[in-house]
Structures are given as structure tokens and as C-alpha cells.
Amino acid sequence: MTQTAAVIGGGVIGGGWAARFALMGWDVQVFDPDPEAERKIGEVMAGAARALPMLYEAPMPRRGALRFCATPEEAVTGADYIQESVPERLELKQKVYAAIQAVAPDAVLASSTSGFKPSELQAGAVRPGQIVVAHPFNPVYLLPLVELVPGAAEPGVVERARSVLTGIGMFPLHVRAEIDAHIADRFLEAVWREALWLVKDGIATTEEIDNAIRYGFGLRWAQMGLFETYRVAGGEAGMRHFMAQFGPALQWPWTRLMDVPEFTDDLVELIAGQSDAQSGHLSIRALERLRDNNLVAILRALKGQNAAAGKLILDHDATLRRPLEDSLPLVTVRRIVPVDWTDVNGHMNEGRYGQVFSDASEELMFHVGADRDYIAAGNSYFTVETTIRYLAETLAGEEIEVETRVTLGEGKKLRLWHEMKRAADGTVLATCDQFMLHVSLETRRSCPPLAHVQDAVEQLARAHADG
């Protein structure tokens, strides 16, 4: 049975909620007085429909219906869950609650507020126990964190909210105590204030500050958070050593934010004890390995998008490439198998063998002159057929090489034989027989290569036949 969510307020956050619910199979009823709301949410939905399914290997649920309503009361009629995302004005939120609680007394009523405490939202409400804070982060349809702050909400309402949020793929972080701006935004606000001072004092530009984050600690935070990062920084002695080493720095005037807690033994034990409970089951070496694997996967993902630290690596990668040596056979690939190429068995998955052999053929194409300029001029080779044999396991961290021979280089035909070997002992891990045709990128039909490429291919074919 399809469930129904109501979204009251269809701005950036409300639109993101509507998209996530709908893509997770919920029917969604939206109210927003903006005459452009339907267009704007439609554009958010299109972006979400493209991006969110990319996170999953499983098929997505059938998309729920999206309906725009004339009033808040209409939007919440029949709703199982209500997400309020109206502007951050307390009196407006309380007015909305008064209207919709009369119509939907049994639904979870959650607010996207980033600043108000639940007790402020619940004050004066007919049913204060129906209201919780569920504060998300933009884009709601991709980022899983949602701060779930109950205040005086009924335990059953809190549990239902948690179940709903988990069911649409989010991570409800239970904020046990009320505090202005909850947890995450207080942390962000501290970083934001320090950044403003750095810019104002002429110490750094906005771009330099962003670079400090995206090329450094932001990557660590993305997969290990703050305390676990510092636990690793403490080495084998762990968090207590880190606290002892760097705790006194809290009194140094490094930052404009000097209202810091007193550095006492009790504080050290509190944080070290929580850190032990969080990560103590893993050795520092295991945490380092986990961190490194995660960083490799994140950086390689950014590299694939030519963005931030990934662009830096991509550009550096290009400087490390060297022309192929005139060996027989040609060594077209030398590399380490990355962690994001492995499957649940811990070895390289089938699709990545295809990637390796594709990279090998691309290196050979560059070698004979069919490079990026050649492709930009409207010429290339297209693969027509491949036969791959998998002969032995290939594990993450192993160094591999691909040896390539031209077995046919005649006119528009090019056939390659690749052998992928473990560099350490020469074991053949896989082979690939690859047949390619030269094509015109204008007509998308086969045609002879340009003379200099054809001569280079035919010369290699003769040399490899003789060898």
C-alpha cells in the first residue's frame, strides 16, 4: 500500500523532501503559495531522478505521484507523514501547525527548521506531542543526515518518524537535548565565523579557504568525522595521547573563537572514553587502512568528475604518463588495482577487466597517432568484439601490467591480443582478444585510417608477427 507524505513549503529544502519521498515510492502532496512552485519542484525532481538512483544497485521503487494542492489543509489530508519547510519565522510555523493539526491529528508532523528548538515549535500547539524537528541537509535527496530532535514529542511519534526517515534512505541522528541550531549547524557556524574573520582580516580569500577544506580535512571528515580522525592522529596511543599533545593549544590564540571549555582530566577521560566506545574495537592500523581505502574511493570518484582534489590528481596523472617503450610486446598498462575496483569477494570485478583492456587499447591508439587530436578531427577506432578469459584472482593493491600485441593491422581492421599479468611473478591473470574497426565520427561508419596511423599500425603488426 502506497503511503502519502505532505510537504508544506516547496523551496529548496521542501522540493528536496518531495523528490526523495516520491523517488522512494511515496505519493507526495505539496502546498506552496509560490505560483512558480510546480516548475521549480519539477526541476528539482528531474535532478533528483537523475542522481539518486545512481547511488543504488537495486532497482528503485515505483515513483510515487506528485500532486500540488491549493491549501495546507488539502495537502495534509490523508497524509501519514508531514514535513513542514516554510520560512524560518516562528509565528508562521505555529500558524501552519494550527491549521494542519485540525485536519491531520494522527500524522507525524516534522519541521525542517535549522534553528528553532522543538519546545518553541510545540508551544501553544493543540497536540505538542505530534511535532518533532527533522532537520535535513541540502540536497535532501542525496545527503542522508537528518537531525531528529524530539523535545516533548510522544515516543511513538519519534519512533514513527525514525522509521519513515530510515525507510527513505536517511540517517536520523537523534539529538537528545534541545539546543539552538541543533548539532551540525552549530559546528558549521563556528567554522563559518572563523572563515569570515580570515577573509575580513585579509589572511585568506574565499577560494583559499574552500581549497583548504576540499583538498584537506574535508576529505577526512567526509568518511571519518572529527573525533575518529583525531583518534588516528594520536597514533597507537589513541585519543588520550592526542588530547595530551594538542589539548594545551586550546589556550593559544589561534582562533577568534576563544570561548573554549577548560581542559581538564575529566574532559580528557570523557572524550577518550567515548572515542574508545566508538572505535576501540579497531586497531590504529585498521583505522588507517579504512581511512586510506575511503580516501582513495572518494578521490577517485572526484577524479572521474574532474572536480576539486580529483582534478588535481587527474592533471598530475597526465604528467606521469610516458610514451610507450618500443618493446615486444608493448607494455600498455602498469598500475595498482584500486580498492573501488573490487567486489564482495575482495577481487577485481569483471567490469574492471574490461576497463583495464580498454585502457590498454587506448594507450596503443595514442602510440600509433590515434590520439585526442586525431579523435577531435573526426577519426577513431571502435571496439566491435572482445573475448575476455579470467584466469586468476586479481586483488586490490596488486601491481598489474598488460602486454599488447597487434595481431591484425590491415586497412580499417585492428585486432589486439592483451595479456594482463601480476607484476610480481608474471602470472597471467586474464587475456583479451579485441577486434576494432576504424570509423569516421562524422558518418559513424567504418573507413580507412589516415595514412600516418595506418602505416604505424601495419608496422606494429609486422613486428609483432615476426616476434
Under DSSP, is residue 175 helix (H, G, I), strand (E, B) or coil? coil
User: Residue 53: its pLDDT value, please?
Assistant: 87
Band the pLDDT of 243: cuts 50, 70, 90: confident
* Number of alpha carbons in the 13 Å side-chain half-sphere of residue 381: 29
Residue-wise DSSP of 384-434: EEEEEEE-S--BTT-EEEEEEEEEEEETTEEEEEEEEEETTT--EEEEEEE
The answer to whether the CB of 97 falls within 8 A of the CB of 84 is yes
Q: Do domains 4-174 and 321-466 have the same CATH topology?
A: no
CA–CA gap between residue 29 and residue 75 (Å, rounded): 5
* pLDDT of the residue at 289: 77
Answer with the residue of higher pLDDT: 242 or 363.
Answer: 363
- Which residue, 294, 283, 143, 313, is CA-closest to 220? 294
Predicted TM-score (pTM) of this structure: 0.72
Tell me phi and psi for residue 379, to 5 degrees. Answer: -130, 145
Does 3.10.129.10 match the CATH number of domain 321-466? yes
pLDDT band at 288 (very low <50, low <70, confident <90, very high): confident
What digits encode the pLDDT tens for the residues 63-80?
999 999 999 999 999 999
> 3-state DSSP call for residue 258?
coil
- CB atoms under 10 Å from CB of 320, counted, come to 6
Q: What is the pLDDT of residue 419?
A: 98
CB-based contacts of 374, cutoff 8 Å, min separation 6: 380, 450, 453
Rounded to an integer, the average pLDDT of 31-44 is 94
Residue 441's pLDDT is what? 96
* Closest by CA position to 41, among listed 10, 4, 71: 10
Report how far residue 378's alpha carbon sits from residue 396's, in angstroms, rounded to the nearest whole number: 37
Q: Which of 59-68, 170-179, 278-287, 327-336 is predicted least confidently?
A: 278-287
For the record, the C-alpha cell of 450 comes out as 589516415
Where do the domains of the chain lie? 4-174, 184-289, 321-466
**Mean pLDDT, the chain, as a whole number?**
90
- Does the pLDDT value for residue 253 go beyond 80? no
| Range 4-174: architecture per CATH | 3-Layer(aba) Sandwich (3.40)
